[in-house]
Chain A
Amino acid sequence: MGDLKTPLDGYSSVQTWYQGLREQSGVDPAADPSRLRLLEEFCRSVELDPDEVVKACLLEKEGRDTKISIKGRKRVSQMVDDFQKQAENLSTRERAHRGNTIRSFLIHNGILLQAGVQH
């Protein structure tokens, strides 16, 4: 990761996330500023920018369609789980919000991380 460009909404994956939230989930992304803040915190903790986080879940080979990398997806899923657990002194619900924010980012970028019911 080079320098993380903040605010993060300049990254194409963040724009894709926002569009998905608006159009598919009926949610105004700007209404909850914790979304971008949590994504930035996550990106810093794993040393990847948002586009790189998405790319880490993909298998791109020249001349072939891009596929989801099972290993990459598992690795990133573990990163999200760890990020969720990191914050001490938070309630279960608040911790779930941390992980689900990143999962939402990934889902709207076409990467499904099935973490299941969080609380």
Chain B
Amino acid sequence: MEFKEVVGRRRSIRYFQSWRPVEREKIQIMLEAARQASCAVNATFMKAIVVERDKLDANTIEALKTPVSGQIELAPIHIYTYADTKAFHGAQGRLKKLVDVGALNASLGWSHKFVDEFVWPNILKPLAENIPQSIALVAGDVGVAVCQAMLAGVDEGLGVCLTAFVPEPVKKALNVPDHWVPLWCLLVGYPAESWEAGGQRPRPPMEEIYHEGKYGTPFKPDPKVTEQLKEQKLLTAPAPLPWRKAEVKAMAQMFGLPE
């Protein structure tokens, strides 16, 4: 699939073919996409545990549910994602390695000495020692990686959905280290609902959320580009599609869920 179509097809899928296993190779593809994501100081802040739902006991599944994640038991694969707060450690060596491989260059001010005498002691060490201060940065990085995993999943024909989860039962069941901060559970499976899942979700107009030059001057989209994005399937039919309620009713009946 072309990238723009992948972006356009991504939905939060909530009804999965709960009976159908996901091929391990597809999970590896998703994890590889996450692994290759941009990350500050080349620190892989995102850590994850891939779990097959059917290998979790019923009590753990029940304990995982939050008021807004009913679909957790429909997805055959759960990828529990965390921010590893110790990933800052080793940043000094990794930054110098990036200098060595030409990723960070003297033309932009980088050198081993700069890393050892300025960047590590003045920027990274304080961040490593002050998790509440650094968690926003770290969580942002995990978000980037998770997004790449999601889009890779869509490209493989899978349904994906990020959901909250109750961390304590997962920590207990999966032996999660204390220094991993829980973030999102990425649910994965083959969609039982159509890929459209009712249509592309409403979003605020670009002019309301993006600015140009300075805050207060809206970024005005070019209608020709908008049309092009429709042709390239990044922009698709908006929700609600006319048959969506009937589809949800069918899902409810299939899975024995309330209406």
A114–B256 touching, CB < 8 Å? no
Chain A, range 89-119, C-beta contacts under 8 Å to B: 93, 96, 100-101, 103-104, 107, 112, 114, 116-119
Q: Is B18 an interface residue (CB 8 A)?
A: yes
A76 adjacent to chain B (CB < 8 Å): no
Interface segment among B65-73, B76-84, B105-113, B129-137: the answer is B65-73
Q: Is the CB of B259 within 8 A of A112?
A: no
B67 lies within 8 A of A100 (CB)? no
Considering only CB atoms, which chain A residue lies closest to B244 in the complex?
A: A26
What is the interface size of chain B, counting residues whose CB is below 8 A from a CB of the partner?
18
Interface check A21, CB cutoff 8 A: yes
| Cβ–Cβ contact B256 & A104, under 8 A | no
Q: Considering the chains assembled together, what is the distance between the CA atoms of A96 and B65 in angstroms?
A: 20
Assuming the contacts A114-B67, A117-B18, A117-B73, asked whether A25 and B259 have C-beta atoms less than 8 A apart, the reply is yes
Which chain A positions have C-beta within 8 A of B67?
68, 112, 114
Known contacts A25-B245, A117-B18, A104 near B259 by CB under 8 Å = yes
Write the residues of chain B forming the contact surface with A, with a CB cutoff of 8 angstroms: 18, 62, 65, 67-68, 70, 73-74, 245-246, 248-249, 252, 255-259
User: 21 A-B residue contacts at CB 8 Å?
Assistant: A21-B259, A25-B259, A26-B245, A26-B248, A27-B245, A100-B256, A100-B259, A101-B258, A104-B259, A112-B67, A112-B68, A114-B67, A114-B70, A116-B62, A116-B73, A117-B18, A117-B73, A117-B74, A118-B256, A118-B257, A119-B255
Given A100-B257, A112-B70, 13 additional A-B pairs, CB 8 A = A27-B245, A27-B249, A27-B259, A68-B67, A100-B259, A103-B258, A104-B258, A104-B259, A112-B68, A116-B70, A117-B73, A117-B256, A119-B255
Interface residues of A (CB under 8 A from B): 21, 25-27, 68, 93, 96, 100-101, 103-104, 107, 112, 114, 116-119
